[in-house]
């Protein structure tokens, strides 16, 4: 019986496992950055970049943190039992994508005076956020950066073969137990393990990036490399951020190379740290930079650290980045009044 098990169970199981690993490697579509990047490209958004690095699940949270970093909203965390408040700043301009995100988070049914605890509304919230991601995906397809349809046939084919293999293996296990053929039983269990591993490792589908997306994805990979070097000593070994091309900020438009300006520059990378799963390390990096700032300049220093503290507190209250958008409660204006739906958002910024 053992030869039959090897030919009909073990060999096929190992073959589809190898194919599953190959499919996963192909789906990753990895790129290599030749240089480290210190800022995202100018003609992009966090949502678009999230899809270019396959960080769909983190896209909404990163976009919300991006609004906080740009001082368009404030994240106000209570406790783990209370929702995270989002306060809109006065007299700022929201883009169409930002308005769409806020509408997705709070929903058109949002009513004044009611705290929305999304623990009971997670499905509706997830559906709205998926719609936002899909609209962004369609925009990338129109721009020729990704294929209109995802690649699905390898995952479907291998999954079907895996389930068929499990049926064969189940029969061999029964026969091996009846005959008391322990070598055949052990070989079948090994084959079953390989088959289960195939189901786990094979991606169901993946986004196909077109050649036009490669430069953008290489830029994002260079940014990921920079964010991964969050420790101050390693950053100095690579290249001091003061040697990078820095953009003027509102805090120090005339001197973009001073420490406070660099702090603001690095603070604006927080949404991208979220996309790459490096938010904790990058917040720690910002705290190191904050500690190194001139403490005699208290007013701008307080303004600089606000967002970092708010984001860190909100993440702690939510439990994780993936739970951040599900933990938000009311959307309020700068006076504390609850904003009612997208119409209320327009009213805030037109006043």
Convert the chain into a string of H (helix), E (strand) and C (coil): CHHHHHHHHHHHHHHHHHHHHHHHHHHHCCCCCCCCCCCCCCCCCHHHHHHHCCCHHHHHHHHHHHHHHCCCEEEECCCCCCCEEEEECCCCCCCHHHHHHHHHHHCCCCCCCCCCCHHHCHHHHHHHHHHHHHHHHHHHHHCCCECCCCECHHHHHHHHHHHHHHHHHHHHHHHHHHHCCHHHHHHHHHHHHHHHHHHHHCCCCECCECHHHHHHHHHHHHHHHHHHCCCHHHHHHHCCHHHCCCCCCCCCCCCCCCHHHHHHHHHCCHHHHHHCCCHHHHHHHHHHHHHHCCCCCHHHHHHHHHHHHHHHHHHHHHCCHHHHHHHEEEEECCCCCECCHHHHHHHHHHC
Q: Closest Cα partner for 162 from 130, 195, 114, 194?
A: 195
Q: Closest Cα partner for 283 from 80, 65, 53?
A: 65
Tell me what pLDDT residue 89 has: 80
Whether the CB-CB separation of 53 and 274 falls below 8 Å is answered with no
Tell me what pLDDT residue 246 has: 39
144: left (phi over 0), alpha (psi -120 to 50) or beta: left
Which residue's structure tokens are 């996963």?
A: 24
Give the pairing type, strands 84-88 and 73-76. Answer: antiparallel
Q: What are phi and psi of 89, to 5 degrees?
A: -80, 150
Q: Find the largest Cα–Cα distance for the chain.
A: 84
Tell me what pLDDT residue 234 has: 54
Rg of the chain on CA atoms, in Å: 25
Gap between the Cα atoms of 168 and 194, Å rounded: 13
Tell me what pLDDT residue 299 has: 55
Tell me what pLDDT residue 73 has: 86
CA 173 → CA 54, 160, 177, 247, distances in Å?
40, 20, 6, 66
Q: Closest Cα partner for 73 from 324, 321, 332, 347?
A: 332
Tell me what pLDDT residue 11 has: 94
Tell me what pLDDT residue 107 has: 66
Which stretches in the chain have pLDDT values below 70? 78-82, 107-121, 230-258, 293-306, 330-351
Gap between the Cα atoms of 288 and 13, Å rounded: 51
């Amino acid at each position: 019986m053992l030869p039959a098990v090897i030919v009909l169970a073990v060999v096929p199981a190992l073959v589809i496992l190898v194919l599953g690993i190959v499919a996963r490697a192909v789906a990753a579509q990895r790129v290599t950055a030749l240089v480290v990047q210190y800022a995202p490209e100018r003609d992009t958004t966090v949502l678009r970049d999230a899809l270019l690095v396959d960080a769909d699940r983190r896209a909404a949270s990163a976009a919300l943190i991006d609004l906080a970093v740009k001082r368009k909203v404030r994240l106000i965390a209570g406790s783990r039992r209370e929702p995270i408040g989002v306060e809109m700043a006065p007299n700022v301009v929201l883009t169409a994508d930002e308005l769409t995100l806020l509408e997705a988070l709070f929903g058109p049914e949002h009513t004044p005076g009611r705290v929305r605890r999304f623990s009971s509304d997670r499905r509706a919230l997830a559906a709205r956020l998926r719609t936002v991601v899909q609209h962004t995906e369609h925009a990338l397809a129109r721009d020729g950066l990704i294929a209109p349809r995802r690649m699905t046939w390898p995952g479907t084919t291998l999954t079907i073969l895996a389930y068929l293999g499990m049926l064969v293996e189940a029969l061999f296990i029964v026969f091996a137990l009846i005959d008391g053929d322990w070598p055949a039983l052990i070989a079948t269990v090994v084959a079953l393990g390989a088959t289960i591993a195939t189901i786990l490792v094979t991606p169901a589908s993946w986004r196909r990036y077109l050649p036009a997306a490669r430069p953008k994805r290489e830029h994002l990979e260079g940014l990921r490399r920079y964010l991964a070097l969050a420790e101050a000593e390693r950053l100095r070994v690579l290249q001091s951020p003061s040697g990078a091309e820095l953009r003027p900020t509102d805090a120090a438009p005339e001197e973009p190379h001073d420490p406070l300006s660099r702090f603001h520059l690095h603070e604006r990378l927080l949404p991208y740290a979220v996309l790459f799963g490096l938010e904790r390390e990058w917040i720690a990096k910002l705290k190191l930079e904050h500690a190194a700032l001139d403490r005699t300049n208290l007013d701008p220093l307080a303004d600089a650290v606000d967002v970092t503290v708010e984001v860190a507190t909100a993440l702690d209250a939510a439990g994780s980045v993936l739970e951040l958008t599900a933990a938000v409660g009311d959307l309020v204006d700068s006076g504390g009044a609850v904003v009612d739906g997208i119409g209320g958002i327009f009213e805030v910024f037109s006043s």
